[in-house]
Structure 1
């Protein structure tokens, strides 16, 4: 492995860092310069502004952030919080499967859950079912 590859960040780390900076801003839109400053402090290294701008543009193309004009550039806001984004990614992967495979994909996902996650999923599914059924067992 070359030295260049040894120092590379894992795939998605910068996007995750950018999103973390946007979530930490608590609803305040950030410019690429704002995000760069936050990332530099968090990572302990300096990123080029063009790198941050490219990551923000890609996140915008993916629908993960929205943007509004700010001077000659843009300021960015996350579209969803972290759990919402993770759920959207999971749904996107499920939607990529063929209709015939959808049940198998879900079955495989559930079969690979640990006992705590399985219990949580069962609880959440039970709560969803309870909300859909009104008093006396009548569907709402």
Structure 2
């Protein structure tokens, strides 16, 4: 999965915040980028996200409804994994990361590792 640009990330936030699949016009109305965007710009971004595998689209009449292919948390975890792999030294990066987390985050990591061992 590739990294997202600023506008792609904003569109994904709209989709993740939506309860159900939404059309381009709805995405455009909910976007808060601080600038005016054209319908065709948002359509192009959604088409690119579909091509990259970030969103799925289903035809509803003459327009598509878009929804994310994974949750925000799954996407974040995948991005973290890609950073680890790209670092060339994932064990060192993990050690630095663990040293930087709060006590609550460390406990969440311990819990996740215990659950992983049970699987």
Let me know the Cα RMSD of the aligned residues: 2.6
Structure 2 SS opposite 1:68: strand
Q: Distance in 1 between matches of 2:37 and 2:75?
A: 24
Query: In structure 1, what is the equivalent of residue 21 of structure 2?
Result: 29
Q: Is 1:102 equivalent to 2:102 in the alignment?
A: no
Instruction: Point out where structure 2 has 5 or more consecutive residues left out of the alignment.
Output: none
Q: How many residues align?
A: 116
Q: Distance in 2 between matches of 1:96 and 1:67?
A: 30
Runs of 4+ residues deviating >4 angstroms: 42-45, 70-73
Structure 2 SS opposite 1:80: coil
Query: In structure 2, what is the equivalent of residue 137 of structure 1?
Result: none
Change (3 A) 1:69 1:54: same
Query: In structure 2, what is the equivalent of residue 3 of structure 1?
Result: none
Equivalent in 37, 47, 51 of residue 61 of structure 1 = 51
The structure, 1 or 2, with the larger RCO (C-alpha pairs under 8 Å, 6+ apart) is 2
Q: CA deviation at 1:38?
A: 1.8
Which TM-score applies when normalising by structure 1? 0.65
Query: In structure 2, what is the equivalent of residue 76 of structure 1?
Result: 66
Instruction: Point out where structure 1 has 5 or more consecutive residues left out of the alignment.
Output: 1-10, 133-140
Q: Distance in 2 between matches of 1:73 and 1:111?
A: 49
Equivalent in 72, 89, 100 of residue 79 of structure 2 = 89
Determine which structure has more spread, i.e. the larger CA radius of gyration: 1
Q: CA deviation at 1:79?
A: 0.7
